[in-house]
């Protein structure tokens, strides 16, 4: 049994489900700190406050949109303003820019940060990230519905935009406000259904074991760290960041950026969902509008894969945000390394079947070699 797989087994089965800001997440942080301590990396535990679930933020936005529909017939202008405000809040939150989440009650989480200095004068900096918390399951992640996740998400965005558009037409044109309000009701109903699914997620959803998502990424990060401590890079300084509370809204990556403010030319390699499927270099991220990965890192990943004979695919990721999205949206040269099934989905994504028994140790080994290869290529 490989050491990488042992990490997955311990995080997913011994510690088990690791919801954002929970005691189990804290235990996982202690495990990672112990492993990094054994490598003499002197990891720092950096606490921060985070919302415990993205359901609260997006549920509040859904409620504001439903509320706008209720007040619109008697007060059209306030209804339009409220709907527009909620839609803007949604766009900001969906693109990793906290807005309404700032007012949501928060609990404690933490990042683990370790530095591997260059042997000589550092010429470049690299951050390697992987989150160690796990998500709640939800109806729309079930095996029967997950294939339509992007479609249902875009339908929600379209419903929000439709409500705002119809209310704007009612306020600023001679068109009948009553007719436009009635025409907007199907969109509002879909938003209400989405709100109810978020409520069901919080009431009935279970925290998943998180073997693939994302004990696999953390395991690869630890194994890369082990190699780099034995064979340090000469002119490249590496920072390892194991993030907490990613599943509740990429909070760990945001907290790291607020605290450290790394230079904009810092390279970022994000490791997420690497345990099952086809190893993939993500070319762009974003469900609403994609942000391209670093062309340099993408080119290096292809070079390494060819040299090491790794089966590497290159494709965009157009579902939910990752820690990589946080850095991409702030113009850091970033690449996310992930693995997808034949349908382009993340296997066992946010579902109770995300157990260690489904993780392929060969995937972890290939991902480790790819990361180390990219770092060596940067050196050269």
> What CATH number does residue 374 fall under?
3.40.630.10
d(CA 53, CA 269): 25
Domain range holding 282?
Answer: 3-51+108-137+207-379
In this structure, are 190 and 214 located in the same domain? no
In this structure, are 43 and 117 located in the same domain? yes
In this structure, are 81 and 115 located in the same domain? no
For residue range 269-279, what is the model confidence (pLDDT) as tens digits? 999 999 999 99
Q: How confident is the model over 310-334, as a mean pLDDT?
A: 97
In this prediction, residue 305 carries a pLDDT of 98
Domain boundary among 160, 177, 204: 204
For residue range 20-57, what is the model confidence (pLDDT) as tens digits? 999 999 999 999 999 999 999 999 999 999 999 999 99
In this structure, are 180 and 298 located in the same domain? no
Give 361's pLDDT tier (boundaries 50, 70, 90): very high
In this prediction, residue 374 carries a pLDDT of 98
Q: Can you say whether the dihedral through the CA atoms of 246, 251, 255, 258 is positive or negative?
A: positive
Share of the chain above pLDDT 90, in %: 98
pLDDT at 241 > cutoff 90:
yes
Domain boundary among 186, 204, 222: 204
In this structure, are 60 and 21 located in the same domain? no
In this prediction, residue 372 carries a pLDDT of 98
Q: How confident is the model over 222-226, as a mean pLDDT?
A: 98
In this structure, are 131 and 258 located in the same domain? yes
In this structure, are 162 and 182 located in the same domain? yes
In this prediction, residue 172 carries a pLDDT of 97
In this structure, are 60 and 173 located in the same domain? yes
Element (H, E) at 335: strand 334-340
In this structure, are 42 and 162 located in the same domain? no
In this structure, are 127 and 270 located in the same domain? yes
Token pair belonging to 333: 């040269």
Name the burial class of residue 211, with classes exposed (0-12), middle (13-18) and buried (19+) by CB atoms within 10 angstroms of its CB. buried
Strands 124-131 vs 236-243: parallel, antiparallel or unpaired: parallel
CA-derived radius of gyration, the chain: 22
In this structure, are 232 and 296 located in the same domain? yes
What is the DSSP secondary structure assignment for residue 314, as one 8-state letter?
Answer: E
Q: How far is CA 212 from CA 32, 223, 248, 270, in A?
A: 17, 16, 17, 14
pLDDT at 222 > cutoff 90:
yes
Element (H, E) at 77: helix 76-94
Helix (H, G, I), strand (E, B) or coil at 330: coil
d(CA 304, CA 380): 12
In this structure, are 177 and 196 located in the same domain? yes
| Entry pTM | 0.96
d(CA 376, CA 380): 6
Domain boundary among 176, 204, 232: 204
Q: How confident is the model over 164-183, as a mean pLDDT?
A: 97
pLDDT at 288 > cutoff 90:
no
In this prediction, residue 330 carries a pLDDT of 97
Q: Please check whether residue 301 is in contact with residue 262, taking contact to mean a CB–CB distance below 8 angstroms.
A: no
Query: What's the whole-number average pLDDT of the chain?
Result: 97
In this prediction, residue 1 carries a pLDDT of 78
Give 244's pLDDT tier (boundaries 50, 70, 90): very high
Give 193's pLDDT tier (boundaries 50, 70, 90): very high
Structural domain count of the chain: 2
pLDDT at 72 > cutoff 90:
yes
């Amino acid at each position: 049994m490989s050491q990488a797989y042992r990490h997955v087994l311990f995080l997913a089965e011994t510690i088990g489900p690791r919801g954002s800001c929970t005691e189990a997440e804290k235990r996982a942080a202690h495990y990672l700190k112990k492993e990094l301590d054994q490598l003499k990396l002197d990891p720092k535990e950096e606490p921060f406050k985070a919302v415990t679930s993205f359901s609260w933020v997006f549920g509040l936005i859904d409620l504001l949109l439903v509320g706008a529909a209720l007040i619109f017939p008697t007060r059209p202008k306030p209804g339009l303003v409220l709907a527009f405000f909620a839609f803007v809040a949604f766009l900001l939150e969906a693109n990793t820019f906290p807005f309404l989440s700032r007012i949501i009650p928060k609990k404690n989480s933490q990042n683990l940060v370790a530095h591997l200095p260059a042997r000589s004068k550092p010429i470049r900096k690299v951050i390697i990230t992987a989150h160690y918390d796990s998500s709640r399951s939800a109806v729309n992640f079930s095996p029967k519905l997950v294939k339509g996740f992007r479609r249902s998400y875009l339908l929600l965005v379209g419903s929000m935009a439709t409500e705002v558009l119809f209310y704007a037409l009612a306020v600023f044109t001679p068109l009948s406000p009553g007719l436009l309000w009635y025409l907007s009701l199907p969109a509002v109903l879909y938003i209400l259904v989405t709100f109810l699914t978020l409520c069901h997620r919080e009431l009935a959803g279970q925290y998943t074991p998180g073997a693939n998502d994302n004990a696999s990424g953390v395991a690869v990060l630890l194994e890369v760290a082990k190699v780099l401590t034995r064979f340090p890079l000469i002119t490249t300084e590496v920072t390892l960041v194991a993030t907490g509370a990613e599943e509740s809204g990429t909070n760990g990556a945001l907290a790291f950026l607020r605290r450290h403010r790394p230079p904009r030319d810092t390279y970022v390699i994000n490791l997420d969902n690497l345990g099952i499927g086809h190893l993939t270099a993500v070319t762009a991220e974003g469900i609403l509008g994609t942000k391209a990965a670093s062309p340099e890192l993408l080119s290096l990943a292809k070079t390494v894969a060819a040299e090491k004979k790794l089966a590497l695919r290159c494709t965009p990721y157009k579902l939910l945000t990752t820690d990589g999205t946080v850095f991409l949206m702030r113009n850091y040269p970033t690449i996310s390394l992930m693995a997808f099934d034949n349908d382009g989905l993340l296997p066992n994504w946010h579902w109770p079947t995300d157990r260690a028994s489904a993780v392929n140790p060969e995937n972890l080994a290939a991902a480790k070699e790819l990361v180390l290869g990219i770092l060596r290529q940067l050196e050269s």
